[in-house]
Amino acid sequence: MKTSSLDRLRNGLVLLLVLTGLWQVLYWCVGDVALRSPLETFGYTAYLLGSARFWPNLVETAQAFGLALVISVVMGLAIGFTLGLSRIANAVFEPVLVSSYAIPKITLYPILLLMFGLGMSAKVAFGVIHGVIPIALFTTDAVRHIRPVFLKTGRTMGLSPLEMAWRILLPAAMPEIFAGLRVGFSLTLIGTLLGEMFASQRGIGYLLMNAIGLHNVDLIMSLTFMLTLFAGAASVILLAINRRMQQRT
Amino acid sequence: MKPAAIWRTAFLGALVALLEVLCLTGRIDKLTMQPPHQIIIDLLRMLSAGTLNLAILKTLANSFLAFGLAMVTGTAAALVLHRLRAVRDALDPLFATYYAIPVFAFYPLLIILFGLGDTPEIFIGFMLAVVAVIVSVLSGIDRIPRVLLKTARVHQLSTWETARRVTLPCIAPYILTGAKLALAYALIGVIGAEFIMSSSGMGYEISFAYMNFDNATMYPLILLIVLASVGINMVLGRWERLLMVRRGLA
């Protein structure tokens, strides 16, 4: 299936229009108790962006998410390279990774909280356990499909494991690894937010949980809207980069 | 048993043993975690006493309901979408970014819409699961060999008969791939929703036990969820591999 980028842009715009339309219709059906119209939500979002109490929370979430993402990527790549290069390690550990992918990680939250205590580190840890597994799995698969001659060349030249990863594995398997990073990016974001919803006094997730408690529909709507917009936009951008990479190879 | 499986079992066993030692020697204190053997004893006692059976049953029933709805709707939607090229193209960006969207952020809205109860939880599970089914089934339909569809046409099968005799058997492995993902997502959705806000179910019981430092209830429940999700996933995975091997796809 080949679609040009122009087609894709048009499809995206149509989809956005349809979704906004559905939102408006739903608002007409349900009314003010539970929903706000798109226009009101945009208005409140603008107000929120202008208010002083919003920004410290955003910074807090951004820090937690950034840290979690860095740790997920480094750990995921390390695990992926190890499992991808060693057949035995792969046979032993890959099923463990696949199974742990299926566990509802939200249930592990109490354990993490008891281990790390309330605050930043628990949030980061929660983001990491969500993000690291897909990155590791995608990387393992990507490394396993690298042409053997590249690896042999590296070994002949006596590269150290670190050089091997940096100069051969990463460039050779980049498009596939990047697909994993894209999935890892969104899961880390979800994990961090969930972490904030349960045990935090700051951050977007905390604001959302607080808004649920206070039945502040305006706040719930605009936070949901912003999160969806951010996650969707990031995903679309990463997907476009990934497509370009795949075309080049 | 293959050597890899033996190593894997040994590794997991060593991990549990390490936890046991750390707990017994007091490096991990009692308030943080109980030794693994205690968790298993607590789990057995909990199950035989039956105090939480209602909560367990409710969570499992809701997850399976969400899963079933997602399977039926997802497969039907994929079969229809495959016919409607334009709609499929328009929905493509949504499918590609769907799992980047934090669906749990919509949970408060669902609570307000449906009220606090089973419906929003099932709905979240369904929302998470359905797209995985649609995407897998669509990719399965794309891979049906042309010749089979032509044969169906030569035999003048009706649309319904083609679907039942050719399409569905042909895409069975892909439906199973979708089912594996969907079941995991349904469990994640339902339990997550119970965790965030609800008045019953396993997720609720875990967070309730957590707030009361009731480790004797919390850890067995967590273990049960982990065992259930891993077990179901392994069974479906094995079945999927069996079908793939029979088709010569793996």
Instruction: Indicate if the pLDDT at residue A65 is higher than 60.
Output: yes
Q: In the block, which residue shows the tokens 């996650």?
A: A231
Is the separation of the CB atoms in A204 and A197 below 8 Å? no
Instruction: For residue B144, give the DSSP letter.
Output: S
Using CA coordinates, name the residue in chain A closest to B209: A110
Counting Cα atoms < 13 Å in the Cβ hemisphere of A144 gives: 17
User: A154 φ, ψ to 5°?
Assistant: -60, -45
* A119-148 mean pLDDT: 88
Residue B66 confidence (pLDDT): 94
Using the beta-carbon criterion (under 8 Å), do B7 and A186 form an inter-chain contact? no
Q: Do A58 and A29 reside in the same domain of the chain?
A: no
Is the separation of the CB atoms in B205 and B24 below 8 Å? no
**Which residue in A151, A238, A149, A142 sits closest to A187, CA to CA?**
A238
Q: Do A95 and A69 reside in the same domain of the chain?
A: yes
Q: Do A2 and A68 reside in the same domain of the chain?
A: no
Distance, C-alpha A23 to centroid of its chain: 25
**Side chain identity, residue A123:** K
Cβ of residue A7 closer than 8 Å to a chain B Cβ:
yes
- Whole-number Å distance between alpha carbons of A150 and A162: 15
Residue A1 confidence (pLDDT): 45
3-state secondary structure of A192: helix
Is the separation of the CB atoms in B107 and A211 below 8 Å? no
Q: Do A76 and A176 reside in the same domain of the chain?
A: yes
Mean confidence (pLDDT) of chain B: 84
Q: Do A71 and A194 reside in the same domain of the chain?
A: yes
Q: Report residue A160's pLDDT band, with 50, 70 and 90 as the boundaries.
A: confident
Residue B22 within a domain? no
Distance, C-alpha A236 to centroid of its chain: 12
Helix A204-214 to helix B107-114 angle, to the nearest 10 degrees? 10
Residue A66 confidence (pLDDT): 94
* B51-57 mean pLDDT: 84
- The residue with greater pLDDT, A74 or A174, is A74
Q: What is the CATH number of the domain that holds B230?
A: 1.10.3720.10
Split into its structural domains, chain B has a count of: 1
Is the separation of the CB atoms in A195 and A64 below 8 Å? yes
Residue B3 within a domain? no
Look up the domain containing A22 and give its range.
1-35
User: A71 φ, ψ to 5°?
Assistant: -65, -45
- Whole-number Å distance between alpha carbons of A140 and A70: 18
Split into its structural domains, chain A has a count of: 2
Q: Do A29 and A91 reside in the same domain of the chain?
A: no
Q: What is the CATH number of the domain that holds A215?
A: 1.10.3720.10
DSSP string, A36-102: --HHHHHHHHHHHHHSTTHHHHHHHHHHHHHHHHHHHHHHHHHHHHHHHH-HHHHHHHHHHHHHHHH
Using the beta-carbon criterion (under 8 Å), do B101 and A228 form an inter-chain contact? yes
Using the beta-carbon criterion (under 8 Å), do A96 and B93 form an inter-chain contact? no
Share of chain A above pLDDT 70, in %: 97
- pLDDT tens, position by position, A219-239: 888 888 888 888 888 888 888
- Whole-number Å distance between alpha carbons of B208 and B103: 23
Residue B41 within a domain? yes
Residue B167 within a domain? yes
Q: Do A10 and A93 reside in the same domain of the chain?
A: no
DSSP string, A156-189: HTT--HHHHIIIIIHHHTHHHHHHHHHHHHHHHH
Using the beta-carbon criterion (under 8 Å), do A93 and B94 form an inter-chain contact? no
- Whole-number Å distance between alpha carbons of A195 and A130: 11
Residue B243 confidence (pLDDT): 80
Cβ of residue A239 closer than 8 Å to a chain B Cβ:
yes
Instruction: For residue B98, give the DSSP letter.
Output: G
Q: Do A132 and A11 reside in the same domain of the chain?
A: no
Q: Report residue B67's pLDDT band, with 50, 70 and 90 as the boundaries.
A: very high
Q: Do A61 and A31 reside in the same domain of the chain?
A: no
CA-based end-to-end distance of chain A: 18
Cβ of residue A49 closer than 8 Å to a chain B Cβ:
no
Residue B187 within a domain? yes
Using the beta-carbon criterion (under 8 Å), do A102 and B233 form an inter-chain contact? yes
**Which residue in A32, A23, A196, A49 sits closest to A121, CA to CA?**
A196
* B93-111 mean pLDDT: 78
Residue A71 confidence (pLDDT): 95
| Least confident among A98-112, B113-127, B181-195 | A98-112
* B17-32 mean pLDDT: 80
Q: Do A104 and A224 reside in the same domain of the chain?
A: yes
**Which residue in A45, A96, A54, A188 sits closest to B102, CA to CA?**
A188
Look up the domain containing B173 and give its range.
34-247
- Whole-number Å distance between alpha carbons of B245 and B198: 43
Residues 6+ apart with CB under 8 A from B37: B20
Q: Do A155 and A226 reside in the same domain of the chain?
A: yes
- pLDDT tens, position by position, A165-223: 888 888 888 888 888 888 889 889 888 888 888 777 788 888 888 887 787 888 888 88
Q: In the block, which residue shows the tokens 């989809």?
A: A15
Residue B182 within a domain? yes
CB contacts under 8 A, A 194-213 vs B, are: 194, 197-198, 208-209, 211-212
Instruction: For residue A145, give the DSSP letter.
Output: T
Instruction: For residue A228, give the DSSP letter.
Output: H
Question: Which stretches of B98-167 are DSSP H helices?
Answer: 107-114, 118-142, 146-154, 159-162
* B112-118 mean pLDDT: 80
Token pair, residue A143, equals: 């490394």
Residue B11 within a domain? no
- Whole-number Å distance between alpha carbons of B104 and A8: 28
Residue B44 within a domain? yes
Q: Do A53 and A150 reside in the same domain of the chain?
A: yes
Exposed / middle / buried, residue A77 (Cβ in 10 Å: 0-12, 13-18, 19+) = buried
Angle (CA) B65 B67 B72, round 5°: 95
- Whole-number Å distance between alpha carbons of A116 and A37: 40
**Side chain identity, residue A48:** L
Q: Closest to B102 (Cβ–Cβ): which among A88, A215, A231?
A: A231
- Residue among A17, A107, A212 with most chain B CBs within 10 A, to mutate: A107
